[in-house]
Chain A
Amino acid sequence: MNWTANDIDLYMQQQEYIDTALIPLVHIGGGGAMKQSASSAEFLLNLSAFIERQFKGRVVLFPPFSYTDGNDRERLAAEWGSSVSDMPFRHVFYLTTDPSWSREGIIEDAIWIPSIPLESMDKKLKQSVLEDQVRQIIPVLTSKWASE
């Protein structure tokens, strides 16, 4: 499900089946890091849209949450964590290309995937690269689902 009115309507009716929130964490860099940050954001949004399509009936894809270097990540994580836990989701996944979340233990179970620059790829290659990445993430999701 996407974060759109129609999809959320459906979510409201089918809450017992749609029990997972997927939140992309997007880093916004300034100055020289701008291009790199845009490239990772492009990759991450493509990837999360792909996951959404694969698991439309179980996952709600949140609008990407973006932050800058100036943000206090621990506070952001705590605030997000408590807001999302008030929602009726049984599983919450954070998806990011920024290793600091899990490395510094701010969000222990954030799924980190290395960013791959998609901008120079043609459509076919882009798709197969994304498919490979999704194939890596699927076991993470399914094992979490199976463990409840």
Chain B
Amino acid sequence: MSNTRVSRRQFLNYTLMGVGGFMASGMLMPMIRFAVDPVLEAGAAGDYIPTSQKVSELTEEPVRVDFTYDQVDGWYESEVTGTAWVYKEGDKVVALSPVCKHLGCTVNWGGDSAHPNQFFCPCHAGRYEKNGQNVPGTPPIGPLDEFDVKIEDDLLYLGATKPNTLI
């Protein structure tokens, strides 16, 4: 076993490089993992709230969709029911927030018999078109907000509200 003689110097070199390599990788691996972690993270899908509304049953007529979620405010934990007005525009599903842009009442579709194809706010007779555009001359100062919408297995999921993008 003598044709590959390992000198003392070589042996020490290899050993030190091996041990040093382990230590370096032990330090570097977590750093690299931290650096690339934001890329690997799945999109914030948890923010979507499931509803029981089937997308195939939606029409061009807005319908009310209720959903519930937990809300913690200080020590007061409550289950909040939210509402959205949902309809189809072509193939696109539109979900509008029912919160009036005037002072926050809840608007209803066709709530005013004189204007059956508008959203109506019973507090101060504010009105909105079907796409959420506020009718000039009524108290609201802006269009209704819109929900982010996701469809999974024909069920509707609602995300965060955002300013109206239909107008």
Contacts and interface: CB of A to CB of B under 8 A. Distances in A.
Nearest to A11: B103
B81 A57 contact: no
A17 B139 CA distance: 10
B68 A57 contact: no
Contact of A58 (B66, B79, B105): B105
Contacts of A73: none
Interface in B103-123: 103-106, 121-123
B158 interface: no
A58 B126 CA distance: 12
Interface residues of B, number: 15
A55 interface: yes
A14 B104 CA distance: 12
Interface string A25-68: 00000000000000000000000000001111110000000000
A138 B103 contact: no
B79 A57 contact: no
A47 to B, nearest CB: 14
Interface in B43-88: 66, 68, 79, 81
Given A17-B139, A58-B105, A127 B124 contact: no
24 contacts: A10-B103, A17-B102, A17-B103, A17-B123, A17-B124, A17-B139, A53-B106, A54-B105, A54-B106, A54-B122, A55-B105, A55-B122, A55-B123, A56-B123, A57-B102, A57-B104, A57-B105, A57-B124, A58-B103, A58-B124, A123-B79, A127-B81, A138-B122, A142-B122
Interface of B: 66, 68, 79, 81, 100, 102-106, 121-124, 139
